[in-house]
Structure formats: C-alpha cells, structure tokens
Amino acid sequence: MAARNPGVEYDESWIQNIYINLPAVKRRAETLGTRRTVKKQWQAAWLLRAVTCIDLTTLAGDDTPSNVERLCYKAKHPIRGDLVKALDIKDKDITTGAVCVYPSRVADCVKALKACNGTNIPIASVATGFPTGQTPLKTRLDEIKQAVSSGAREIDIVINRTYALTGDWKGVYNEVRLMREACGEAHLKTILATGELGSMVNVYKASMVCMMAGADFIKTSTGKEGVNAILPVGLVMVRAIREYHHRTAHKVGFKPAGGIRSAKDACTWLSMMKEELGDEWTKPNLFRIGASSLLGDIERQIFHYVTGRYAAAHELPMA
C-alpha cells in the first residue's frame, strides 16, 4: 500500500461553493466508456495489471470456511499457471490485490492464505455495520477493532449517509476520524455509497471530507445499492483525489466496486485512472477494483490471447 494519508483538520471552506457541471462529466465519462480498447499483447498486459488491482470479494450470507479457502487459493493463483508461463513475463507470482470478507471470516482467510503460501496478500474486511451503517457508533468501532485483531490489514467502512444527506459534514468527518484511529496500522477505505448520496455535489463533498479525515482510499459503493460503480461518479471522485493531492501532497487511492464484471470494464477504469491521475494510480497501492466475478472474464480473455480460442467453463475453474 502507499504511504498513509494522515488527514488534515476539518476545513469547511474546502467543500463550500462546489458546482458540478453534470453534462460535461457525462460527456467525459462517455469518451472513456465508448473508446476502442487496447488489443493483442497490450490488452493482455493491461488485464494482468487489472488482476493485481482486484479485491477478490465474497460477502454472502452463506460464506463458510471452505468458500473462503477457495477464494484465497484463487487470489494466490488468479491466472492458470500454464497461461502465465505462456505469456513469458518476468513476474510470474501474480496475485490479486487483496481478498475481502466479513469480519467473522477474517480468521479463516489468515489460515487459508498461510496454507497456500499467500501471506503477502492483504486481507480486507468490510466493517461498521456494512452495508447500511445503521448500527451504534461504538458497535461500528468495535467491529473495526475485531477485524484488525483477527488479521485484517485493510478495513472498508461505510460512511454515515444520514449525516451526508442532511449536510452534517463535520459529523461525517468526526466519525471517519474515529474509524481511522480504530484501524491502527490497517489502511482505511471509506465507502461513500454514492448511489444513495443524491447528487454529484454530495459525492464530491463526501470524497473530500473522508480524505480530510484520513481515508487511505475512497470507494464508490458497497455493491448493494441500486446504482454502484459508474464512470461519471468515478470521475468526480478521482478529481476530488487530484484536488486533495494538490492541496496536501498526500496520495489517496480509489476503489470502484459493484457491477464491474467484464475485462473491458476493467480496462476502461484503468484508462480513467491513467488519464486523470497518472500511471502511479494504476497500481494496487493506489487503485483497487472490488469484484467477485470480474476475474473469471479476465482469465477467459487471457486464455483467448494465449490459445486463440475461448475456454469452456470447465477449463477455468473459479473460486
């Protein structure tokens, strides 16, 4: 991960008189979404980069230790070994950026990653009453501490949407600040749940306030809202990151999550990061994709690049 974002004192002037030119945002997002993607060996290289940025995720009610074990094995071996060998790349130890689970499954991840020699892969855990955040603050803070004590190195928290929707941005700041303290050495990713914030102005303000409070990453969605990761929202968030970096020199990461399922989608998000923030923000220390099914399509596209045909379902077993 990148150096920690220490945050700054709350300064309301940073979020005053904010105006978002929505038609311009949509036009810019459309140019990213409709552009022809890279091809051949360049596409394969971009897809391998995307693999290293995936937070391979399971957040299901029927998660079990065996599900988590399969997830961790896939995180350690995301692309079939013979395909990696055929690509003839220097770094053959490609893993996903992290695995992401509920706090109660963190200990299972620790055990599973140790068993498959994947202890270098960070464990991320959602916390703070995910996905709604509608639990008492003490309970949310205790959940963070439990996940960290179990072995989580990254914590994905949800912000208080009630505060955001009523304009209590100091309240959002204060809670996120306490959550960062509860994380200790673990990195903090703040989920804005942008599909529930009501406006792009609120998306920008929530992004900036969370960064002021010390968020190491800002994340679009829980994956449970009606609208999750979409390019116009992502564009507003990464430009808030750019402004925060300009003001403070601190680099904050970005994580789109929810609805990103195709290899083409992954390349589109990577291209946005490269064009808006630069190459450094296309690497896993500053960019993650929250996904559960994306890896399957990426591996399928790499299989096609190597063999010239698409794999049958049984040829690419998924976690």
Torsion on CA atoms 208, 211, 213, 216, rounded to nearest 10: 160
- Measured CA to CA, the distance from residue 193 to residue 196 in angstroms comes to 6
- Measured CA to CA, the distance from residue 60 to residue 1 in angstroms comes to 26
Phi-psi region of 287 (alpha: psi -120 to 50; beta: other; left: phi over 0): beta
Using the Cα atoms of residue 285, residue 287, residue 293 and residue 296 in order, give the sign of their dihedral: negative
What order of strands is seen across the sheet that includes strand 54-57?
253-255, 217-219, 187-191, 154-158, 123-126, 98-101, 54-57, 289-291
Are the CB atoms for 228 and 258 separated by under 8 Å? yes
Q: At residue 290, what are phi and psi to the nearest 5 degrees?
A: -85, 115
* Paired tokens of 40: 């051949």
Catalytic residue among 189, 205, 219, 251: 219
- Measured CA to CA, the distance from residue 271 to residue 34 in angstroms comes to 12
The question of whether 114 is a catalytic residue gets the answer no
Tell me: cis bond preceding 131? Omega within 30 of 0 counts: yes
- Measured CA to CA, the distance from residue 274 to residue 242 in angstroms comes to 12
Catalytic residue among 255, 264, 274, 283: 255
The question of whether 85 is a catalytic residue gets the answer no
- Cα distances from 164 to residues 160, 175, 228, 269, 280, in angstroms, run 7, 12, 17, 26, 30
Residues with a catalytic annotation lie at 219, 255
